[in-house]
Homo-oligomer: A and B are copies of this chain.
């Protein structure tokens, strides 16, 4: 941990010239107000007015410095803002580096995202960065805002309106960076630092995340991801940062947006599911849209729940209707809203009139001075780890700010939804934020903020740096037929049905006699991956005659080695596997069997290695989770057993560099025998080479 922090600190320092410059040169500054250089200079007027050194550079305007070198002679220039056309950028960047400038921003486009010669310009920028060590933000970004330092390094008008605050924004896109900064301002939060990365030639999300671990102004980080170049590095940075500050991540690309995304950044969109899973596993709170991002990061910037594996919510509402919307929304987020203890209920019955609902949600009716005690009673309930409240702003009934502040239970965060309009309400919301109480304007905002507090509490309760499990076999190479794959699973402790590999009819008949019917008879050939489609599977074989008929059919299809296997009892089929993601490396996957689950892409993903405890959480993430929980009298999953199996598959991939993929499909959940692997495929790099059509 010490080494990690040291690394963070040194990386943090590395971006000071960029985010806390002692002097800024605008290269390509312009007197023409419509030009980018003019807009940038205007945005920096506040910086100059506050005593920052602003040097305007334009070789063709004699009222300005002729070159960055000249500007640097007169005083410190830490940051060069380069506003020249793309072909000229590499040269100007080199000049700046030569002049001792530590960091640069290139806002303009026309690089890799545009294709053509832009690709080469971008490569030249990379070369300058590599040769000189200058730090470069962009190209193709509208810049960054550091309101505490008075630096608005952006050409977007109105950015001076972005309030200094506690939330940092790290956005793939300059446009999203600004959009979020404005939304955070309007929600009463403001920003500590807001960075749009653009093409990310040098400074990428991990760099900024590392910088933020030490930023004294930042208490929570909003992360917007369009694509990931280096998965493990991103994960490592998020993991380091979440140990110190909450991170809320929005990943774009749930649906098919690939063509447009490529035009935007020149990079392919990463896998949405895997990226979200990786970020969540690293401790980030993952959200679905930019509104929930603002709700979540705004809440986490003022308060956090204690680490807790299964936190519960106490709901307090002054109006039943909005409380019902809130409860419905919380249930949709699978947020537990537990029954309160008898002690709490007794106390509430003393505080509230008898007509109100008090079991959680607690409906106060029109609230009065007792609201503070109601809130503290609910917050003190042992099942409650966060309080989600809603009230219309009714100052003639109760001072809601005072009630919330007084009613806060120790260590239990509160989200207060305050319905109303106008300056008084805005001021009350701001007062709540300043007191460390998260706020929202509507029930959905309360639910989103509460959901984020719970997700953060759960993430903090997990061990984010799992040890690698021992005891998995290493050195696995070569191809594996089903029998060999199942033998390997057996060594890992996975149950497989009794089976016999058979090279001739006599062996097959002996196997049937030994196993008893019914049996499955399958082709045995490591090069055939889709046995059913190849006509290689016969089920429910009971008699020697049926066996012969099945073997005839298999032979007719050219299959002369067979697996004779006891039929498994009925149950619920799962699919588990481990494979190598091109961006993030080894991952494990869990889904339900069958085409419906497949069509719905109902799958839970984790990076490997992971602990069995972490893997045991995966089934609860499946939309069809109810099927594993005794659906219609069916079997109940032992998630511990499944977690061990899934974690082991991940370990297997890690211990065996030549292993490409392991898939158990189906893995059947049975009533008596627990989990049974009915089929298994193991692909090594050799198999891959032999299977070009994979």
**A interface, CB within 8 angstroms of B:** 33-34, 39, 109-110, 113-114, 118, 142, 156-158, 161-162, 171-179, 182-183, 185-186, 196, 224, 226, 252-257, 259-261, 263-264, 289-291, 318-325, 327-329, 331-332, 355, 357, 359, 361, 363, 365, 392-397, 419-422, 424-425, 441-445, 572, 592, 594-597, 599-600, 602, 623-624, 626-627, 631-632
**Closest residue to A365 on the B side, CB-wise?**
B109
Q: Shortest 10 CB-CB distances between A and B: which pairs?
A: A173-B321, A175-B319, A255-B331, A176-B321, A175-B321, A264-B320, A263-B357, A596-B596, A114-B355, A179-B419
Q: B325 touching A289 by the CB < 8 A rule?
A: yes
Shortest Cβ gap from A121 to chain B (Å): 12
Residues from chain B with Cβ under 8 Å of A600 in the complex: 596, 600, 623-624
Residues from chain B with Cβ under 8 Å of A441 in the complex: 182-183, 186
With A252-B328, A291-B445 given, can you name 18 additional A-B contacts, CB distance below 8 Å?
A: A156-B392, A157-B396, A158-B420, A173-B319, A173-B324, A175-B392, A178-B392, A178-B419, A182-B441, A186-B441, A253-B328, A257-B327, A260-B363, A263-B357, A264-B324, A290-B444, A291-B291, A596-B597
Shortest Cβ gap from A264 to chain B (Å): 4
Which of B158, B363, B444, B445 is within 8 Å of A425, CB to CB? B158
**Closest residue to A596 on the B side, CB-wise?**
B596
Residues from chain B with Cβ under 8 Å of A597 in the complex: 596
Which of B171, B361, B599 is within 8 Å of A624, CB to CB? B599
Complex CA–CA separation, A156 to B319 (angstroms): 11
Q: B161 touching A260 by the CB < 8 A rule?
A: no
Residues from chain B with Cβ under 8 Å of A175 in the complex: 318-323, 392, 419
Residues from chain B with Cβ under 8 Å of A602 in the complex: 596
Complex CA–CA separation, A264 to B326 (angstroms): 14
Q: B595 touching A631 by the CB < 8 A rule?
A: yes
Residues from chain B with Cβ under 8 Å of A365 in the complex: 109
Q: B264 touching A325 by the CB < 8 A rule?
A: no
Residues from chain B with Cβ under 8 Å of A320 in the complex: 173, 175, 260, 263-264
Given A331-B255, A441-B183, A595-B631, answer yes or no on A395-B290 (Cβ-Cβ < 8 Å).
Answer: no
Residues from chain B with Cβ under 8 Å of A257 in the complex: 324, 327-328, 331
Residues from chain B with Cβ under 8 Å of A442 in the complex: 179, 183, 290-291
Residues from chain B with Cβ under 8 Å of A179 in the complex: 319, 321-322, 392, 419, 442-443
Residues from chain B with Cβ under 8 Å of A394 in the complex: 156-157
Complex CA–CA separation, A97 to B252 (angstroms): 60
Q: B331 touching A289 by the CB < 8 A rule?
A: no
Q: B421 touching A252 by the CB < 8 A rule?
A: no
Complex CA–CA separation, A173 to B322 (angstroms): 8
Residues from chain B with Cβ under 8 Å of A363 in the complex: 260, 263-264
Q: A264 touching B183 by the CB < 8 A rule?
A: no
Residues from chain B with Cβ under 8 Å of A183 in the complex: 419, 441-442
Q: B321 touching A260 by the CB < 8 A rule?
A: no
Cβ contacts A to B, 27 pairs, < 8 Å: A33-B396, A109-B365, A158-B393, A161-B422, A174-B321, A175-B318, A175-B319, A175-B323, A175-B419, A186-B441, A226-B321, A252-B324, A252-B328, A255-B327, A255-B331, A257-B327, A260-B323, A260-B361, A264-B320, A264-B321, A595-B632, A596-B596, A596-B624, A596-B627, A599-B624, A599-B627, A600-B600
Complex CA–CA separation, A424 to B161 (angstroms): 11
Shortest Cβ gap from A357 to chain B (Å): 4
Q: A393 touching B186 by the CB < 8 A rule?
A: no
Residues from chain B with Cβ under 8 Å of A599 in the complex: 624, 626-627, 631
Q: A424 touching B158 by the CB < 8 A rule?
A: yes
Shortest Cβ gap from A526 to chain B (Å): 23
